[in-house]
Every structure is written in structure tokens, then in C-alpha cells.
Amino acid sequence: MQPWTVLLSLRVSHWILPLLVLTSCGLMPPLGSRRLKKDAANLHGIAPEKWAALPDVAPSAATGWLGDYDCAALRVLVDRAIAANPNLKAAAARVTQAQAQTVQAGAAMMPSINGSFSASRSQTPSDQRFSGQNFINNRFRLPLNVSWEIDFWGRVADERGAAKARRFAVEEDFHAARLSLAATTVRTAITLAEVQSLISLAEQNVQARRVQLGIMEKQMERGLDPDRAALDVSLSRADLARAESTIQQRRATADQTQRALEVLLGGYPAGVERGLSSLPRLSRSIPAGLPSELMLRRPDLRAAERRLEAALRSESAAKKAFLPSIRLTGESGRTSQSTDDLLVPEAAIWTIASNVTQSLFQGGRILATAKETRARYEEQLQTYTNSALTAFREVETALAGDGFLRDQAAALASAATEAERAEKLAQGQYEKGLSEVLTLLDARQRAFDARSSLISVQAQRLRNRADLHLALGGEF
């Protein structure tokens, strides 16, 4: 190390290092910290149980709940989506941006050091009255400049704290996107399996109606009671056409769902993804007495709280802009008329200066900024409140929905059993000539509708379980 750099280090450290210690300790904490604690306490008080501090969230929060479905194929689909989904990759890129912005905000707390080299050549004319020789001057400079705004009031620290809080919020947004992607993939895969099951059921229904129509057409050809046979054939053909229309409708739904699932998986929507072979089964029931603290894992709530903190820090920094700023500057280096003498001790130069700046008039800009940041804090507070209320509604709705759907599925299972029995009885009576074809067709339609409704309710309960885990921010 050159002697002049040692000299600068000693002189700068004599001034800067004590100030670094003082400013890092935070001579003035963020303005409004007590207000933030009070507002957060009031918000937490709306919960059925008091909330605690934000807990650490396990890495498995986004996918650990997939064990409820006891389906390995479903986990494979979710893993594919997390690995390839473009929206999730975009969210990850936003995290990197926020981390870089935090570093940028923190850089203002440290001194700025710049090195430079300059060379100049000038000529001074000789005296006009006497003959002489022009004087030519060379000047070479190799300075090192140090500039530092002392964060005496903590304004820069507030700005860095705001950037840090925003970074945490963006990270929580990424976790929220990951959890939402997993839940959306599960819901879409279940919907596809539901539609495929309904298509299979509709195809069975069409096949049965075709067999029945064939029997009726043969009876009409034999000429037994031709008027009644013609009516039965016309009614049967109408029901068959309606059943075939149902198949096409469900195939269209399946096609749309396949393409939606393929986009979630980060692939081209070619409509070839098969998804699950059948509807999965729930491996466990919802435990009783889930604590409200589970919702503290919800990444959207955590992000809202981080943004509230960032808004408070920004408000504090805006208010501290009314206070004077203190800046230290220093320069040390070499200057000489020739490069050969540039590094000799006699060529050393150094200066140390300080200044205090107080804003007197800026047309109301600083006051308007302070008002804007205060309003932004109030906005974030109300957003946080609304997010919490929405979260509680989603959890309560999903919890209640599981019970309703469970009971509905049980009732539909009983209805399907009775409808199938009625269909068989109507078939027997029609073959014996004891009932009209309308009775048979109605019984068959009732059985088909009951089985279809049962499949749909079972699928809806599976989707509702995904909604519950999404509302809770992870597994039970």
C-alpha cells in the first residue's frame, strides 16, 4: 500500500468510523413505530384467538398437504408445474429484482469512494513588451475522492428498511404464487378427472339407450301395437340424441380443461394431457379445532404486513427530509507537473470538508411527499385488514363446505343406489308390458343424473380441500 493511501485511510477513519458506529445504532428510530404496533394489535384482535409473531414457514408448506389425496400422480403434476410454469418463474425473477433494490438502498449508508486520473497542458504567453518565451505548464492529478452523507437522523436507514420490507413482501408473493399454482394444478387435474369420469358414465348411458332402442325398433317391425311402438321408438330416439349431445358437451369441457392444465405445466396447449386416471380419495379428515395462528403462514397476509412496514418506513423517511443533512467530503492523492514525480511524497495532496444543508423552500414538495407516504400507509393498513378478513372468510367457508359436501355426497350415494334399483324395476315392468316407456326413460335419466351428481360432488369436495389448504397457507 502506498504511503498516501495509508494517510487517507487514517484521516478518514478518524472521522468516519465513529460516525459509522453511531449511525448504525440508529440515533433516531423510524417515526410511527408505536402506531404500527398499535394498528397491528387492533387488527390481530379481530381473530378468534390472538395472533402471535410471524412464524417461520416450512419449505414444504406449498406442497406438503398433497398427502391428503394419497395420489402419487397428482404430486407429479404439481412438481411439473412448479418446475416449468412461466408465471412462477416471473415471480422468482421479481424476488431477484427486490434483492438487488435492497442492496441499492443500503449503499447510500456507506461512503462513496471514487478514483480518477487527469492530465492537462496549458500555455501562458510571455510579456508583450519584452521578448520572451511562452510558458507551458503540464499538470497530472491522481486523486481519490470520498463523499459520505451521515445518516444522523436515520432517514437513509428508513429508506433501506422500506426496501428490505418490500423485498420480504416480494418473497412472500413468490411463496403465495407457488402455493396458488399447486392448488390450481390440483383443482384443474381433479376437474379433468371428473369430466373424464362423467364422459365414461355418459358413454355407458348412450350404449344402454342404444340397446334399448334396438329392442323397441324390432318390436315396431313385428307390427305389435304399431302406434305405441312408434311412440316408444320416437321417445327413445330423442333421449338417445340428448345423451349423445351430453357426451359432446363433456368432451368439449375435457378438451378445455386439458389445455388449461398443459399451460399450467408450462407446455403447449395441445390437448393431449391425460392428467389423472381417476378421482383420488381423501386419506384423512380435517382435524377439529384448527387454531387461527395457522393463517399466519398465509404468504399473502405476510406480504401485506411487510408492505405495511415498508409504508411506515417510507413515511418516516419522508418526514425526516425536513431535518438538515450532514455530508463529509475528502480528497487525497497526487499532483505534479510530470508523471515521473507523481508518486513522490512531496506530490501528496489531501483535503477534508463538511457541510450541513437545510432545505428552506421547495414549493411544498417535501410536505406533499410526507402526506403521500402517510396516505400510502393508511392504504396498506386497510389492505391488510381486508386481506385478513378475506382470509378468515375463505377458511370458514372451506371448513363448512367440507361438511356440507360430505353429507351431500352421502345423500347422493343413497339416491344413486335407489335410482339404479328403480331403473331395473322399470325395465322389468316395461318388458312385461306393465308400464309405459316414459316411466322407463324417466327412471333411467334419474339414475344417470344421480350418478353424475355424485361424481361432481365428490370432485367438488376434493377441490374444496385444496381451497382449504390454500386458505390456511399450507398443511394442517
Q: Say what the pLDDT of residue 1 is.
A: 40
> What pLDDT sits at residue 197?
96
Q: Quickly count: other Cβ atoms within 10 Å of residue 55's Cβ.
A: 11
Cβ(344)–Cβ(336) below 8 Å? yes
pLDDT of the residue at 457: 97
Specify the pLDDT at position 15. Answer: 43
* Of residues 279, 253, 275, the one with CA closest to residue 264: 275
Neighbour tally for 295: CB within 10 Å: 19
Number of other CB atoms surrounding residue 263 within 10 Å: 16
pLDDT per position as a tens digit, 402-458: 999 999 999 999 999 999 999 899 888 877 777 787 888 888 889 999 999 999 999
The three-class DSSP label of residue 113 is strand
Instruction: Report the amino acid identity of residue 268.
Output: Y
Q: Directed axis angle between helix 299-320 and helix 155-221, to 10°?
A: 150
Residue 187: CB atoms within 10 A of its CB come to 20
The pLDDT of residue 348 is: 79
Instruction: Determine how β-strand 348-357 pairs with β-strand 135-150.
Output: unpaired
Question: In 3D, which of 366, 370, 368, 335 has the Cα closest to residue 350?
Answer: 335
In this structure, CATH architecture of domain 31-108+152-321+365-472: Up-down Bundle (1.20)
Residue 244 pLDDT: 93
Cα 280 from Cα 262, distance rounded (Å): 20
Strand partners, 331: 145, 351
Extract the residue ranges of the chain whose pLDDT is less than 50: 1-17, 19-26, 50-53
pTM score of the predicted model: 0.81
Q: What single-letter DSSP state applies at residue 9? A: H
Provide the CA 242 distance to its chain's centre, in angstroms. Answer: 44
Closest CA to 290 of 385, 404, 395: 395
pLDDT for residue 362: 80
Structure confidence at residue 111 (pLDDT): 83
Per-residue pLDDT, 86? 95
In the numeric block, the cell 380419495 is attached to 281
Instruction: Look up residue 235 and give its three cell numbers.
Output: 321417445
Q: Which CATH number does 1-27+109-122+134-150+323-358 carry?
A: 2.20.200.10
DSSP 10-75: HHHHHHHHHHHHHHHH-SSPPTTHHHHHHHHHHHHTTSSS---SPPP--GGGGTGGGGGG--HHHH
Residues 6+ apart with CB under 8 A from 129: none
Q: What are the boundaries of each domain within the chain?
A: 1-27+109-122+134-150+323-358, 31-108+152-321+365-472
| Interacting residues of 466 by C-beta distance below 8 A, sequence separation 6+ | 183, 186, 187, 190
Nearest to 188 by CA among 251, 255, 258: 258
